[in-house]
Amino acid sequence: MGVEEELLLVSDSTGEPLALSSAVLAAAAAAGEEAADVFEKELHQEQLEFATRPVADMTALREEIVRWRGEAARHAEAAGARVAALATSPLPVRPSRNLGRRYRWMAGQFALTADEQLTGGCHVHVSVASDEEGVGVLDRIRPWLPLLHAISANSPYWQGTDSGYAGYRSRVWNRLPSAGPYEPFGDAAAYHARVRDMLATGVIRDQGMIYFDARLSHNFPTVEIRVADVCLEPGTTVLVATLARALVETAARSWAEGEPAPAVPVALLRLASWQAARSGPEGPLLDPRTHRGTDAETALGALLAHTEDALRETGDLDAARAALALLATRGSGARRQRELHEGGLDLGEVVRECARLTTGTPEPEH
């Protein structure tokens, strides 16, 4: 499995987003071939993306995330910026689009919606044995994905204003025409036919614009789960990835045993996604088993119970329980941003504190 994270490039003095991705990528390229392969540009110049190498256990994944967040911070500093794991900018921003034919096409096609996509996600890749197994997984993880979004919620502010949501990024992201929940596919042939039909409309340009909440990766033999905000701290990313892998393993077993996929309408999944974005892990949330409102403890407890066998077999059950308990005590990235602001920091200071939390940099002496 592996993780992709999209980080925000910000000013150390004001916290404002800075259009410096080209300079940061140049610094990374100068550092060596490995860094050049890890970091990539995004649609807007205020962002930097990295991808971990494939790993088999969560200790290695944490090490990868900490390492590459630290490297991103080092290269950003060389370019005059810092990195912050924020899924939206708390401060007002007019993003600057990166150059390239694909990005020009997106700007022309999606208009204002493309300009608004300065959003940072966390994508979790989990390997599967085949496209058939992958589609079996996709069909069976659908009801549980909103809970991963809730756990990761880290985008309360939009253009200098409290949005009222814990995870507002998804409300912006889902304005794109192919984004969001999907109907069950049934098998790999039906999945690929759906993708071909979507491309044939001309509304989207390529397979990379199939923005389902989860999809078959067109680059790797993986299921790619795309619902999460980029998480403020590495530990939350590891929790999301731990539960994502357990969901995939649980679904793969269910598919192999011939159990039917849950026939949950997209209309209910959209409501669950909205509620997750609104509340985050503090709740309320929709219970994936009943699709009725419940408290966060019940909903997240159901997720843990659903994946318990898979978590136990990988040795992750105790760590997942402890991480969920810590999340309940300390709160989501969204809650922590709000607490910093309500505690007296202006939004620029909130961004700078979040940049420190992103890499675990010690607090400055006063």
The pLDDT score that the predictor gives to residue 183 is 97
Distances (CA, A) of 12 to 17, 46, 55, 231: 10, 14, 33, 20
In a domain, 158, yes or no: yes
Whether 239 contacts 323, CB under 8 Å: yes
Whether 21 contacts 46, CB under 8 Å: yes
Domain, as residue range, for 349: 2-359
Lowest mean pLDDT among 26-40, 197-211, 278-292: 26-40
In a domain, 321, yes or no: yes
Whether 218 contacts 207, CB under 8 Å: yes
Token pair of 272 as six digits: 């669950």
In a domain, 167, yes or no: yes
Structural domains in the chain (count): 1
Separation of CA 5 from chain center: 7
In a domain, 365, yes or no: no
Beta strands in 154-236 (DSSP E): 157-158, 161-162, 214-216, 222-229
Question: What single DSSP character describes residue 167?
Answer: B
Give the pLDDT band (50/70/90) at residue 363. Answer: low
Give the rounded percent of residues in the chain with a pLDDT score beyond 70.
Answer: 98
Whether 213 contacts 180, CB under 8 Å: yes
Token pair of 344 as six digits: 């007296």
Beta strands in 78-196 (DSSP E): 82-84, 121-127, 157-158, 161-162
Per residue in 317-362, pLDDT (tens digit) is 999 999 999 999 999 999 999 999 999 999 999 999 999 999 987 6
In a domain, 268, yes or no: yes
In a domain, 366, yes or no: no
Give the pLDDT band (50/70/90) at residue 366. Answer: very low
Token pair of 194 as six digits: 């759906």
CATH code of the domain covering residue 83: 3.30.590.20
In a domain, 262, yes or no: yes
